A and B are shown apart, each in its own frame.
Chain A
């Protein structure tokens, strides 16, 4: 190793950044070269002197101010996230519910419901409007249960009851025109029963999904 190469490596050597082969050559060189030894000592002195620069302490006022700003930030973020999540949850649930009603129309769900309950004497005398209500409840319950679980996972699921209620109400309102259109051939009482079922099912599903989701994952704020 030449003096020029050795001198170029001095800072890296002090910072422990020299690979083992280079290090061996470097150490061999400066053992035999008084000039480079002197140079290295001067570099080491500068290196050590920088290292003795006193450690500044964090100003407690700066620290207090920062932590307060973080708290503020955390507090302002959650309602914003909740509002966004409410809108997105309701919209996603509407899409899921409409898709379900396309694959399984409300009248068909009503018939399936009647078939399923036929064997149970306790439900034998239920009026058709109640059966439409029960069938409709599934179109609210299942989409919002799924969406609630996802929302709880994404935003931390705090304020489950409030968020669930608002999402459920928004969902029911958004679903109303669609149900009125697709059920226009049905008697009004049945349409009303479906709407009531969807609304109640939606509220239960949304709160339930968020509650389950937030139990699985508890954030600190």
Chain B
């Protein structure tokens, strides 16, 4: 049987079908959570934003218009909430270095040295991503992990597709230099 689209589920939720919310949550929980962990660099902030984003989807369901893809709407909410939290905290919109390691699905059988190397590699990667400007970081993560097109990322960030292309390149160039 054909699965309903995200947009159809969102319209069903708008019409009062709570099961539609559960299905959307099931589809997007891991994606959004992973994005927020990588984007904020702070598991605690990511968890708060994760909850707030889905709550906002639920609360604002009546305002949803299927003009844009649900994923665009969801990630736009997540990013706006992050920017709001940064503004409230009075800190610049930069990546927060985590105090604890991120929760992750471990490799099946890594040895102690491999684990250490993996953790070091991840820490280097985290620092490299942390050094990116907020927009560049969002573009890189949405493009690399969400497989979003530049046009869709442009909608989320409120910038042109061309600007996304330039910034995506700038982000990868920075990472390339840092990961050398």
Contact = CB atoms under 8 A, between A and B. Distances in A.
Interface stretch (A65-73, A132-140, A190-198): A65-73
Interface residues of B, number: 47
A10 interface: yes
Interface string A60-97: 00110111011001100000000000000000000000
A45 B169 CA distance: 14
Given A53-B125, A73-B55, A58 B50 contact: yes
A12 B18 contact: no
B151 to A, nearest CB: 9
A11 interface: yes
Contact of B143 (A15, A45, A59, A217): A15
A66 to B, nearest CB: 5
B84 interface: no
Nearest to A56: B37
Q: Which of B129, B168, B169 has the most CB of A within 10 A?
A: B169
Interface of A: 8, 10-12, 14-15, 17, 42-43, 45-47, 49-51, 53-59, 62-63, 65-67, 69-70, 73-74, 155-156, 217, 219-221
B144 A56 contact: no
A219 B16 contact: yes
Interface string B25-41: 10001100110011000
A14 B143 CA distance: 10
